Amino acid sequence: MKSTLQALNLETLGHILVSFLRQRSPLAPLQFLYARSKNFFQIPLPGFRPFVIGGGAANRQVLVTERNKLLWRNPSDPVTTLLRHGVLVVDGPEHDNYRRELEPLLTPGYLQNYIPQMVRQVDRVTATWKDGQTVDMLVESRRIALLIIMEALFSVDFWDDLPRMWKSILKVIDYISPGAWIVFPNIPRPGYTQHIRALDNYLYQIIQRRRSAPARQDLLGHLLDIGLDDGLIRDQMLTMLIAGHDTSTALLAWTFYLLGQNQEILSRLQNELEQSLQGQPPKRAAGWQPALLDEVIKESLRLYPPIHLGNRYVAEKITFNGQTVPAGERLFYSIYLTHRDPMVWKDPDDFEPERFADGCKPPPFTYVPFGGGPRVCIGAAFGQAEARLVLARLLQTHRFQLKSSKVFARMGATLEPSPGVLMRVQRKTE
């Protein structure tokens, strides 16, 4: 096969460069290559040449029918160094074992227990806002998501420790984000060790405290009950902490950005919430489904999927529609490109929550914000309930006005609105 790089002529390279500069993100050039290559291409960078696929049929191969040819663990990736034996970066029986233990505590049946805590954490954060103040919803969403995940899964009230741990958490996320290490895997990465150690020490202290405290029925309690050692418990805790809050942060921040740009949808949503909540805080995770709220969340996940691609190591060669990826290569299935495919979505770049109205179901594996198959996101129900609850409570109590003018999609550990989502907040009068 002629390499993608060789196949690019000057005009195409120009197009890639212009779209990159206009959107200040590699997403636009990737969209261009995707359309041009019928959903199969190789990123043409020296030293970094992963294959990229997307679309319903190829996603199904990666996620279900041929998933055994692919591994999640890529030993040289920073995420593997960081999470060690966390459920996200192991394969085979080791993965299935952790997954079986963790999953019951995140199922829809269990979520109801977390609802009052979620509302309480939102109220605590908004109590620090001054009326008329401009806040960054990327930062505020992260504060809320961190408080929620620490309390729900580990029974830790993170409020007092959050300011002290904030920088280390951001540095740890930066450590696993794409950077120069992609092209130069052995490049020294000073400045991270102290922050990883700080977070590790914090988690080990929590584990120690719990070993000598009365048993509690949360995710940490279960990991202790099944007899894992401290190191393995730390791996699962750090995995859940990072995967479980950075994604929700991005989802909430993008949703505020989209609503801020679409005032008409925002006011319809606020009306819907007023009607359905009748002045009471949201109380249920399921069985309470304001239609527009769910549609808005789904559409936000379509346009800006927090995990915008799935990363795999090809253990055995795999063929997509006649084109083969050899063993030993890196393969991405692109959630972002799949979600913006004009063959599937009408006006794919537009924010139109109604496309998810009752009865509108996208074809299989063309809408995959949580991945799919046996390794579908373990926190999908939790993440959706959290988004619903947090958005409902924030919109019930406050008015929001977008102040940011230009926001870019930054490919960090998640797809993040950069430099942030500035909004003026005003408490509603009761």
Binding site for ligand HEM (CB under 6 A): 87-88, 99, 106, 239-240, 243-244, 247-248, 251, 306-307, 310, 369-371, 375, 377-379, 382-383
Shortest distance in whole angstroms from residue 329 CB to ligand HEM = 16
Query: Residue 106 or 266: which CB sits closer to ligand HEM?
Result: 106
Which stretch of DSSP H or E encloses residue 303? helix 291-303
Query: Residue 369 or 417: which CB sits closer to ligand HEM?
Result: 369
316 Cβ contact partners less than 8 Å away, ≥ 6 residues apart: 68, 69, 327
Shortest distance in whole angstroms from residue 118 CB to ligand HEM = 12
Residue with tokens 């679409």: 262
Cβ(313)–Cβ(70) below 8 Å:
yes
Shortest distance in whole angstroms from residue 244 CB to ligand HEM = 3
72 closest CA partner among 53, 59, 91, 86: 91
Query: Residue 16 or 63: which CB sits closer to ligand HEM?
Result: 63
Cβ(206)–Cβ(213) below 8 Å:
no
Query: Residue 16 or 90: which CB sits closer to ligand HEM?
Result: 90
Shortest distance in whole angstroms from residue 413 CB to ligand HEM = 11
CA-to-CA separations, 147 to 81, 125, 163, 267, 390, in angstroms, rounded: 25, 9, 11, 28, 12
As beta bridge partners, residue 52 has 41, 332
Rounded Cα distance between 415 and 297, Å, is 15
Query: Residue 143 or 375: which CB sits closer to ligand HEM?
Result: 375
Query: Residue 78 or 379: which CB sits closer to ligand HEM?
Result: 379
Shortest distance in whole angstroms from residue 262 CB to ligand HEM = 20
Query: Residue 260 or 310: which CB sits closer to ligand HEM?
Result: 310
Give the nearest residue (CB) to ligand HEM: 379
Residue with tokens 């409902």: 392
Query: Residue 16 or 145: which CB sits closer to ligand HEM?
Result: 145
How many Cβ atoms are within 10 Å of 59's Cβ, its own excluded? 25
Single-letter code of the amino acid located at 361: K
Shortest distance in whole angstroms from residue 240 CB to ligand HEM = 5
Cβ(300)–Cβ(251) below 8 Å:
yes
**Four-CA torsion 187, 190, 195, 197, nearest 10 degrees:** 80
Rounded Cα distance between 267 and 265, Å, is 6
214 Cβ contact partners less than 8 Å away, ≥ 6 residues apart: none
Strands 318-320 and 323-325: antiparallel
Shortest distance in whole angstroms from residue 316 CB to ligand HEM = 18
Query: Residue 16 or 83: which CB sits closer to ligand HEM?
Result: 83
Extract the tokens encoding 336: 């972002």
Query: Residue 12 or 418: which CB sits closer to ligand HEM?
Result: 418
Shortest distance in whole angstroms from residue 353 CB to ligand HEM = 16
The DSSP call for residue 48 is B
Shortest distance in whole angstroms from residue 358 CB to ligand HEM = 22
Shortest distance in whole angstroms from residue 14 CB to ligand HEM = 33
How many Cβ atoms are within 10 Å of 397's Cβ, its own excluded? 15
